[in-house]
Each structure stands twice: as C-alpha cells, then as structure tokens.
Structure 1
Amino acid sequence: MKRLTHLLMVSILGGAITLGAYKLFFENSKFAVVTEDQGAPYFTTSNLDASVRGAGINEVDFTVAAEKTVNAVVHVKNVTVNEVPNNFWEYFYGSQGSQRPQVGTGSGVIISPDGYIVTNNHVIAKADALSVTLNNNKSYKAEIIGTDPNSDIALIKIDADRNLPYLAFGDSDNTRIGEWVLAVGNPFNLTSTVTAGIISAKARDLGRTDQSFLQTDAAVNPGNSGGALVNTNGDLIGINTAITSQTGSYVGYSFAVPSNIAKKVVEDIMEYGNVQKGILGISSPRLNTPYAVENGIDEIEGVYIDGIEEDSGAEEAELKSGDVIKMVDDIRVRRFADLTGYVATKRPGDKVLLAIDRNGDELEVEVELKERQSLVVPQMGLKVKNLNEEDKKKYKTKYGVKITGVPETYRGYDLEGKVIMAIGDEEVRDIQDARTLFGAISRYGKTVITMINEKGERERLIFQ
C-alpha cells in the first residue's frame, strides 16, 4: 500500500513539473503593452460591416441588362452615292462624273415591336439607301421617318416578319452621377458589343447647341453612334452620340442624348411630323466671358437672366434681367445646360414652375413655354423675329421678319429694325422661311434682299 501511494505521489509531482516546464518555455503568452506613441493615431473610418462579397463592383450584375439590350441594338449602314469627276475638265466645267458609293455605319435602338428604331441624325444623314442588320444577322431595308439635327436624333423604320425585341425609354432625369451604365453598339463594324462604366456627369454642355448631354466613361468608339446607354435594369437612359478625341477613338469619356429628350423628339416626329420645341425666351451670358467675370456672374449657382425675348413666355410672366433661376419644377438648376436640358423635353403650351432669386427674395413664377419667335439665319448671321400684331400695324405689312440683331460685319448697313420681305423672288413669311432661304444663298452668286423700313419705304440689299 505504501509502495502504491509513493508511486502516485511521484506521478503527480512529475506531471506538475512537466506542465510547469511547458507553460514556462513553450506556450506563447499574450501581453498587452502600453507605450507612448509620438506618431499619428489610427482610427477606424466606419462602423459599418464590409460586404461579405468584397468590393461594390462585385455586387453589380450586368448580365440581365446586357441580355435585354444586345438583341434590341442594331447595325445601321448608310450608303451615299457621290459624283466624282474623272478628269480636270469635268471638275472645271461641272460635267457629270462617275458615281461612287460611300458607306457609313452606326448603331440604332429598336423602340417598338413593329420596327421603329431611334439612331443619330449624323448616322443616316444624306443617305441614298439605308439598311439595318439585327443581332441575328438578318438585314432589312429601312426608311427615314423623321430627323432632328438639333438634338442629333433620327427615327427610322424597318418592316420585319415578326415582332422585334425592343427597349423601353427610362427616365434620364433620375440618373445619378456614379450610377453604373452599359453602352451597347457596333464599334468597328463588330456585332453588338457591351462596355461598362458610370455616369460621369449630367447636363454637360458641349458648346454646339443649347442641349445637354449625359457623360459616361463606358467605352464608345466609331460605330457606337446611335447605340444604347442603359442602366443595370436594362432601361434606355440615353442614345450614345459623341466622343471628344484628337484621334477619333475613345480616350476616356463619351456623351449621350438623355432618353427624356430622345423620347420627346421621337413622339413629336410620330405625332406632328416635326419637333415641337417650347422655349422660355431668356438669354444668359456664358460664364467664361469677360462680361460674366467682371460682373461676378461666373460665380452664381443658377441661371442668370441677362435678357428677355419679346413676345415670349418669360416676358408675359414678367421675368426680369438680373433674376437668377434656381429650380425648374423639381429639378435643381446649377448651370444653363440644366435648364435647357429639362425644357427640351417640353412642348409649346406646357407650363413650368421656376424658383427665382430676385435681389435676395425667393419667388415662384409659372411660365408658359412658347414656340421660338426668333433665330439667327445662316450665311449673314442676322437675328430675326416673327412679326407681332403691333409690328404689322407699324410697318403696314402682313408678313416678313424683323431684324433685331446685326453682326459686326454688317453694322454699317443700318439693317437693325427693318423688316425682310423677300429673298430673291421668294417671300419671307416667318423665321422658318428666313432660315431656309438664307441657307440656300450661294456664296458665288448675287442675292437681292428686299426690306421695308419704319416709314414704309422699300429697300434692296445686294448680298454676294
């Protein structure tokens, strides 16, 4: 018994010694060491848990939008026949030369099952023949339904033997900077190609028209023009239109006509045969001009009203020079392109509610949009307006257009305030006639412009 007790005590002692040695020499202890740190402290930047799926891009699924879009985007081929002189004598005397076809390509978006397609005006301009190829490689002849060069939107149609896949217009006003988008088109004559990017900016003014564009960094190259810009739901939010590049190829960003503008243009063409454009009737100086800088206008957030057009909705609503437009309906206005981009979706007769800053006072003014009453004619650059009833009585005429602005070249001819009655043998009844007839003036010939002054005296100006 004593022997057994002795062995037990030795075993316990040996185990204790072994455990102590292990703890002392082999087990890693955890220590909390506090030291004085002279460097910058470290802080967590968020209390939110990170996504278990990793970075945000991994959570975006482009496949649904791509599948909905590729079959609704088509390849558009424009064939233009040009006459090319065969020799010097044909060139000099204008004899008919050889006819050579020139082929241009672009993209288009099917917007109805019966074959209506929206594309860019520059894709189908001057076409002698148009053809459309679907994503399944079937080709059809296309006809032009209508165009709007100002917005660079055109509507064409094909007659297919079945209902076609199509895209619905989304609401481009609801797009947000940073939102993921896909650009779908036919770059370099390839079939439907999908590229991804984000909305880089909204209401971008390219300086060519009074229109605003969506800017994206989704890759767009020659051949993409007229293609679709869609969100991750597959909604059509823009028609890809332009890139800014010194090489002619994509360099990091591109531009699209917002879907709300494209939709309105298409609806006008289908219902009226042309685009019904309503305007406010205001002018605003460009922010990068010396005038704007000297008067502090370049620092204003909003649209500074510099002038009010006669017989416009702005004049009837008693807007004043110096007013600053802050909002139109529920759209915040930071720059002129914000305003024109929204107004471009409206028609004459529509009313908009403007939030105005007038000398520090906040006002709300309802303005009825009206048809454009003035424009600058090509060739001479004169600004002309339609005659109102007071003008007709004053000048004792039932038709014509009044000259309200004269470029520096013609300031010495005393033209301002006179009414243009005819160009050559053609009567000028309104500003649309004036634009057409001035646009047809040849720089190589003489054109007689018939005018009338405030005394009722007729004058003639020979333009060459």
Structure 2
Amino acid sequence: MQSKKSKVSSKLWAALAAAGIIAGAGTMAYQFSYAETAPQVEMNHKIVPLFNNPPAAPATNVAVNAPNFASIVKAYGPAVVHINVKGETKETVQQQIPKQFQNDPFFRFFQQFNNGQQQEVPTEGLGSGFIISSDGLILTNAHVVKGASSVRVTLTDHRTYKAKVLGYDTKTDIAVIKIPATNLPTVRLGNPSNLEPGDWVLAIGSPYGFYNTVTAGIVSAKSRSLPDDSMVPFIQTDVAVNPGNSGGPLFNTKGEVVGINSQIFTQTGAFEGLSFAIPINVAERVAKQIIEHGKVQHARLGIAVQTVTQNLATSFGLQTPRGALVAQVEKDSPASKAGLQPGDIILSVNGQPVNDSADLPMMIGLSEPGSKVTLGVWHDHKQQTITAVLGNFSDNVTLASASPGAKGDHGGLGLVVRPLNANEEQQAGVSHGLLVEGVSGPAEQAGIQPGDILIAVDGKSVSSIDQVRGILKSAGKSVALLIQRGSNRIFVPVQVG
C-alpha cells in the first residue's frame, strides 16, 4: 500500500509538472514584478500571464486608533466590585491510623467502620461584579454565589457590605445580589449585537484577589456555544481573564458593558488566550426575571437536535449544510403537538436563520414560555412553516437537546438487520425498527455497531427489510440513518456502496 506521504508527493509532483514548473511541460523563464499587472511567463516562446487574476485594488491604509482605556476605567471602574463568599461543602474524611497501630489487624477491622464519614468543610471563594442601580443591585455569575452562606461585597473605596442573593440562574450563569447602600456609581449597558470580531474590549475584575485589575484585548468571535452552556451565545475574546474575574464586566470602547466575563478555556487553570463572556442582553433578560419574580423561566420545544453535515444535507436534499436536524421528538411535547418529526431540519426561528444546531437551544431557551414561534422547516425535500407554542423548561424535559425472524443483508450499506420482536421493542421503548446484527463497509466506517436499532432511513420510519430496500432504490449517494443506541438517537450519514 502506498503511504500517505508518497501519495501526497506523487500528487504534488504531477501538479507541478502539469503547471510547467518541473521540466517536461516546456521551458520557463520567471519575471518578478511589483507593478499592478500580472507577471509574465515565457512558455514555448509565448508570453502568457502567470496568474489570470484581475488587477488588485489599490492598497489602502486603515488607521487603527487605540481606545482611551484610562478614561473608561476612571469613569466606570468605581462601579466594579470585589466579591468574597463563604460556605460549606461536604467532604469524605478518612481518619489516619496511628503509626503504632498500622499493623494491628484488630484496629484495622474496627477502623473500616469509621472511614468515609461526611463532614462539613468550610470553603471560601472570590469573584467580581458590577453595580447596575444606585440603590445597590449588582450583577455577577451564578457560580460565584451559588451555595454561599455568606456574601460580602467590597467597593473601590474599601467600603464593605454584606450582600443578599436575590436569585441566580444556573442555565445562563447569571446572579443578582443586593447591598444596603445608596448613591452608588453605576455602569452603562450597551448592545453586544454591535460588536464585531476585531473590536477592542476591556475587562475589570479581581483575578486571584487583586482588586480592580484592568486587562484589554479584542473580540475573537461571537455566538460561541460551549458544551455545558447551550443557552448562551458567548462572546469569545483574548482578554486576560483569570480566577476571580468571574462576574466582572466586559466594556466596549464607548465605556458600555457588553458582557459578563464568565469562563476561560484552559489546560492549566490559568488564562491561555481564550475567554468567554455572557452577552449583556442575555443577562438583562435573566436579571429582570430574578428581580421581579425571584426565579427564571426558560422555554422549551422538546426535541433533541444534531449538526447537519454535508453528507446529511445531501441525504435530505438540502443544498448546503445548515440548520438543526431533529433527531428525537418527545411525546406530548410542544414540538410533537406542532407536527415536528425526526428528520426535519429547522432552518429558522421567527425569521432568524439557524446556521448551526448550536443556535437553536439559545433561540428557544431564551424565549418566553407560552409564546408562539414560527419555525422554517425542511421536510421531505421541501420547505414549510410550522407554528409551535413553547413549553416551560422546568417540566423535566429536553430543551430543544420483513417478516418476523427474517434477516436482511444490505450490501450497499454494510448492514445486517432483522425486525425487532415484541420483547425487544418494549425494552428499547420503540414501536418499530430493525435490530442491527452485523456491520461492515460504509456502515462500520460511519460508526454503527451491532445492537444499534435502525429507526428510519432518510426520515422515513422502517420496520421491515423491504421498506429499507425500497428507500435505497431511490436514494442518492448518501443516506441518513436514524440510529438508536440505548436511549439516545442520532442521524448517521452513510455512503451507499
């Protein structure tokens, strides 16, 4: 077998030879030019352009003026606070065996009944926050104050207050606390939608307890989705953020707060160039519910979704990979009542495009429970519109997140399947499907395993081998198989052999 390196080398050699760069396609003489016209090359005594690109546009000098960070810090730094929290956590305490008894079998016998006892161990933590009203309302992160028995706030003038936690929301990591003070300095809130990658931003906080530390950087990306926080479209920056910065403000160049510094991506525990802030418009919406109701409600649709890859898009007849592919619909959920089905691809919510499956939980979760949403859906190779009434996320459901005994060998897919018997259907919690008993070729490469259950092919439910054969006859180069493994379902694109 030819190695990857030799394959690449041979392809590169062929490409260079075809271009005439290597001898065999005519002699060449190079001419370098700094003018706007393309350089010329002599090939077999004929002058031809080396590149067929049109002349480049004249270069323009873009002036980049650094913002006046000092004036922002002077104006709004006093509204940033340091937060100290104390609490207790349960830890398993193992008693040490005295040295003189370490080899005593009787002592060890009785010692086993005393090990593993739970004890309350005092803990301390720190974070940051910022004042949003002159009468003492402060925004911070939920993870800063969650579980705290005591919260103390220190202002820049060294005044210290005991704070009351009005409420927090772990799904968005937002908390509101209040201190008994008046005439306090406050921040101005901005619109994070106006941010663009490359814009300057400024952070103020208490990394490692160093009060009012100022760091700056740029916006790296917007609408980032993190694994444990699917409801928040994070602002990614390269601003230096460390433990203790959590809950502190992220300012734009106008001195407006556009985000709350919340997380960093690190392999060492310290800053490594990737920090994430919660957009302030998300925080405002959550904080308003906390202040008015003491709790936060999130909407739900009741579906599990997955990313639309190029192969899946081709299988469902979609020209470009976009949207959120519905892999599972909960029984009696808002999605089920609206008519959504596994295999549907949600392309938009209220006219806003769903570019990736990560966009959908944010759009749904931050909506009001009971509100109506209009979904643009790709169903059965055509687009349609569906209206759904959103439920409440607190209902303990997901957000958006042949004849019997016969066997069939689908050589084109590399699958050996058979219909489920009644007992297997009951155990799997399904009403139809085919049990995968063997895999090879395309199916094996796609990750399908024996024991998986084939629920649907290209969005069409299957319960017999003849149904699968019929669908494959009219299928393209790729098909989307809805596979259930355990209690989870996912669409798997498989190339048809």
TM-score, L = length of structure 1:
0.64
Three-state SS of the structure 2 residue aligned to 1:343 is: helix
Three-state SS of the structure 2 residue aligned to 1:215 is: strand
- Aligned equivalent of 1:380: none
Contact in 2 for aligned 1:75/1:191 (Cα 8 Å): yes
Q: Which region of structure 1 is more displaced relative to structure 2, 265-274 or 138-147?
A: 265-274
Is it true that 1:205 corresponds to 2:205 in the alignment?
Answer: no
Q: 1:38 aligns with which of 27, 31, 49?
A: 31
Q: What is the alpha-carbon distance in structure 2 between the residues aligned to residue 234 and residue 90 of structure 1? A: 60
Q: 1:357 aligns with which of 362, 367, 378?
A: 378
Three-state SS of the structure 2 residue aligned to 1:285 is: strand
Q: What's the CA shift for 1:70?
A: 1.4
Could you report, residue by residue, the CA deviation over 1:193-212 in whole angstroms, capped at 9, with x for unpaired residues?
A: 22222221222222113223
Question: How do 1:265-304 and structure 2 match up within 5 A?
Answer: 265-286=286-307, 300-304=321-325
Q: What is the alpha-carbon distance in structure 2 between the residues aligned to residue 169 and residue 283 of structure 1? A: 34
Q: What's the CA shift for 1:140?
A: 0.6
The one-letter code of the counterpart of 2:31 is Q
Q: What's the CA shift for 1:215?
A: 1.1
Q: 1:50 aligns with which of 44, 56, 61?
A: 61
- Aligned equivalent of 1:243: 264
Contact in 1 for aligned 2:141/2:173 (Cα 8 Å): yes
Q: What is the alpha-carbon distance in structure 2 between the residues aligned to residue 261 and residue 296 of structure 1? A: 35
Is it true that 1:308 corresponds to 2:308 in the alignment?
Answer: no
- Aligned equivalent of 2:178: 157
- Aligned equivalent of 1:78: 85
Q: 2:209 aligns with which of 189, 212, 216?
A: 189
Question: How do 1:47-446 and structure 2 match up within 5 A?
Answer: 47=58, 50=61, 55-56=63-64, 58-81=65-88, 88=96, 92=114, 101-160=122-181, 162-212=182-232, 213-286=234-307, 300-329=321-350, 331-372=352-393, 375=396
Contact in 2 for aligned 1:305/1:320 (Cα 8 Å): yes
Specify whether residues 350 and 141 from structure 1 end up closer, same or farther in structure 2 by C-alpha distance, changes over 3 A only.
same
Q: What is the alpha-carbon distance in structure 1 between the residues aligned to residue 307 and residue 347 of structure 2? A: 17
Specify whether residues 82 and 208 from structure 1 end up closer, same or farther in structure 2 by C-alpha distance, changes over 3 A only.
closer
Q: What's the CA shift for 1:323?
A: 3.0
Q: What's the CA shift for 1:41?
A: 4.2
Q: What is the alpha-carbon distance in structure 2 between the residues aligned to residue 87 and residue 116 of structure 1? A: 45
Three-state SS of the structure 2 residue aligned to 1:65 is: helix
Q: C-alpha root-mean-square deviation of aligned residues, in Å?
A: 3.7
Contact in 1 for aligned 2:139/2:177 (Cα 8 Å): yes
Specify whether residues 414 and 143 from structure 1 end up closer, same or farther in structure 2 by C-alpha distance, changes over 3 A only.
same
Q: What is the alpha-carbon distance in structure 2 between the residues aligned to residue 168 and residue 197 of structure 1? A: 20
More strand, by proportion: 2
Q: What's the CA shift for 1:229?
A: 1.4
Unmatched segments (≥5 aa) in structure 2: 1-28, 37-54, 97-110, 400-423, 431-497
TM-score, L = length of structure 2:
0.60
Three-state SS of the structure 2 residue aligned to 1:128 is: strand
Three-state SS of the structure 2 residue aligned to 1:266 is: helix
Q: What is the alpha-carbon distance in structure 2 between the residues aligned to residue 201 and residue 211 of structure 1? A: 17
The one-letter code of the counterpart of 2:229 is T
Specify whether residues 90 and 326 from structure 1 end up closer, same or farther in structure 2 by C-alpha distance, changes over 3 A only.
same
The one-letter code of the counterpart of 2:372 is K
The one-letter code of the counterpart of 1:164 is L
Q: What is the alpha-carbon distance in structure 2 between the residues aligned to residue 240 and residue 350 of structure 1? A: 30
Could you report, residue by residue, the CA deviation over 1:166-214 in whole angstroms, capped at 9, with x for unpaired residues?
A: 2244333443322222122111211212222222122222211322322
Three-state SS of the structure 1 residue aligned to 2:231 is: coil
Could you report, residue by residue, the CA deviation over 1:138-170 in whole angstroms, capped at 9, with x for unpaired residues?
A: 11101111111222221111011x321222443
Specify whether residues 140 and 247 from structure 1 end up closer, same or farther in structure 2 by C-alpha distance, changes over 3 A only.
same
Could you report, residue by residue, the CA deviation over 1:334-360 in whole angstroms, capped at 9, with x for unpaired residues?
A: 112222223333211223333333455
Q: What is the alpha-carbon distance in structure 2 between the residues aligned to residue 142 and residue 153 of structure 1? A: 16
- Aligned equivalent of 2:476: none
Q: What is the alpha-carbon distance in structure 1 between the residues aligned to residue 352 and residue 254 of structure 2? A: 23
Q: What is the alpha-carbon distance in structure 1 between the residues aligned to residue 264 and residue 335 of structure 2? A: 35
Give the % identical residues. 37
Contact in 1 for aligned 2:318/2:381 (Cα 8 Å): no
- Aligned equivalent of 2:14: none
Contact in 2 for aligned 1:278/1:344 (Cα 8 Å): yes
Q: What is the alpha-carbon distance in structure 2 between the residues aligned to residue 316 and residue 82 of structure 1? A: 43
Which is higher, the Rg of structure 1 or of structure 2? 1
How many correspondences in the alignment?
A: 344
Specify whether residues 373 and 37 from structure 1 end up closer, same or farther in structure 2 by C-alpha distance, changes over 3 A only.
closer
Contact in 1 for aligned 2:206/2:213 (Cα 8 Å): yes
Could you report, residue by residue, the CA deviation over 1:343-386 in whole angstroms, capped at 9, with x for unpaired residues?
A: 3332112233333334554444443322137537xxxxxx89xx
